[in-house]
Amino acid sequence: MSAPRDPIKYAAWLEKQRTSHMNKHPNQSTLDKMSESHKGLTPWNKGIPSSDSTKQKQSNSLKNKPKPPRSKEHCENISKSKMGDKNPMYGKHIEHISEDMKCPLCQSRDVKKNGTRKLVDGTIVELAQCNKCGYRTKAKRFK
């Protein structure tokens, strides 16, 4: 039966359709058939980026929600999976900028790169810090 065009009859028909399928769940064979029939089809929204308002709504819906509890075993498994070369920071450790660098305050050679900073005029400056006295400045000043 198709939907009636009269708004009052349509509302009654819609309610009847809604309640007729309430609390009815397909069995496993039906779910398997539905799954098989959808294989190979591409979703209608594939390749369409989400709008900023949608991203904001998703972000707001997840805020202030408690995270599910993790068992100690689960935490250990996560830790093991991030060890060694699987760690995203593997091989990206801060290294000495130069072997002949000295701190101007304490004359220590224990000076390491400490990130970069973008200045107001758009230039990117490499920063360095002495590990002994904590003196921090632009890397070129240490030479």
Q: What is the full DSSP assignment across 40-108?
A: TPPPTTTTPPPPHHHHHHHHHHHTTPPPPP--HHHHHHHHHHTSGGGSTTTT----BS-TT---TTT--
Per-residue confidence (pLDDT) for residue 84, from 0 to 100: 87
Q: Could you give phi then psi for residue 8, rounded to 5 degrees?
A: -70, -45
Instruction: Tell me, yes or no, whether 116 lies in a domain.
Output: yes
Instruction: Tell me, yes or no, whether 90 lies in a domain.
Output: no
What token pair was written down for 52? 């900023």
pLDDT in tens, 62-93: 998 998 899 999 999 999 999 988 888 777 65
Q: Which residue, chain included where needed, has tokens 């400056």?
A: 125
Are 102 and 81 contacting, i.e. CB atoms less than 8 angstroms apart? no
Per-residue confidence (pLDDT) for residue 67, from 0 to 100: 86
Residue with the larger pLDDT of the pair 105 and 71 = 71
Q: What is the mean pLDDT of the segment spanning 103-119?
A: 66
The closest of 114, 92, 105, 101 to 140, measured between CA atoms, is: 101
Number of domain units in the chain:
1
The closest of 128, 123, 122 to 140, measured between CA atoms, is: 128
Q: Which domain holds residue 135?
A: 112-142
Instruction: Tell me, yes or no, whether 58 lies in a domain.
Output: no
pTM as predicted:
0.32
Instruction: Tell me, yes or no, whether 131 lies in a domain.
Output: yes
Q: What is the mean pLDDT of the segment spanning 50-62?
A: 94
Instruction: Tell me, yes or no, whether 27 lies in a domain.
Output: no
Confidence of residue 2 (pLDDT cuts 50, 70, 90): confident
Residue 64 to residue 57: CA distance in whole angstroms: 13
The closest of 124, 97, 125 to 113, measured between CA atoms, is: 97
Per-residue confidence (pLDDT) for residue 36, from 0 to 100: 96
The closest of 141, 95, 91, 142 to 114, measured between CA atoms, is: 95
pLDDT in tens, 13-33: 999 999 998 888 999 999 999
